């Protein structure tokens, strides 16, 4: 059983490493993903604010699960600060995606089709209004608050 779990984790990790890597791209894809709540979200290549945070996570990622409460706090802080953010949950079949996305709210984007295929998760992509990627942060930066995380990601004007 343990060998099977290890093989499944390895297969998921290898799948995440294939295909387009948004951290190597200059723009976010022009993809409209369904939200957990039902409606289709706006294009990933569009942002209503000068800077936008797109966080990509996966249900099989332990770091993503541990970081989920901090990501939720960060999104609340950014919303209050006037910075748009979104969470894309993918890299797995739809059942686990929906279950994990519930932690992020009804506006979590479901990416069962592989519009986002980063080489690793979590990944934080900071883009401008047109989807141009300004900064990529792999993994979860450890900070003491949502405000310091937003600043570390370069989302707040100094």
Q: Which residues pair with 124 in a beta bridge?
A: 55, 137
Residue 157 placed within a domain: no
- And the tokens for 131? 């989807």
Question: In which band, very low, low, confident or very high, does the pLDDT at 95 lie, cut at 50, 70 and 90?
Answer: confident
Per-residue confidence (pLDDT) for residue 157, from 0 to 100: 74
Q: Which range marks the domain in which residue 11 is found?
A: 2-152
Q: What is the CATH number of the domain that holds 101?
A: 3.40.30.10
Residue 23 placed within a domain: yes
Residue 158 placed within a domain: no
Q: Mean per-residue pLDDT for 17-30?
A: 64
Which range in 21-30, 33-42, 56-65, 90-99 is most confidently predicted, on average pLDDT? Answer: 56-65
Residue 89 placed within a domain: yes
- And the tokens for 30? 């022009």
Each residue's pLDDT tens digit, 49-78? 999 999 999 999 999 999 999 999 999 999
In the chain, the number of structural domains is: 1
What's the per-residue H, E or C state across 114-140? CCCCCCCCCEEEEEECCCEEEEEEECC
């Amino acid at each position: 059983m343990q060998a099977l779990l290890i093989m499944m984790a390895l297969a998921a990790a290898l799948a995440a490493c294939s295909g387009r890597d948004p951290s190597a791209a200059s723009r976010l894809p022009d993809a409209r993903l369904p939200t957990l709540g039902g409606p289709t979200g706006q294009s990933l290549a569009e942002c209503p604010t000068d800077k936008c945070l797109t966080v990509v996570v996966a249900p099989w990622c332990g770091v993503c699960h541990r970081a989920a409460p901090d990501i939720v706090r960060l999104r609340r802080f950014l919303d209050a600060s006037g910075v748009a953010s979104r969470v894309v949950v993918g890299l797995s079949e739809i059942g686990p995606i929906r279950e994990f996305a519930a932690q992020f709210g009804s506006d979590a984007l479901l990416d069962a089709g592989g519009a986002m295929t980063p080489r690793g998760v979590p990944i934080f992509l900071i883009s401008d209004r047109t989807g141009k990627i300004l900064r990529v942060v792999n993994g979860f930066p450890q900070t003491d608050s949502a405000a310091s995380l937003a600043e570390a990601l370069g989302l707040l004007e100094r």
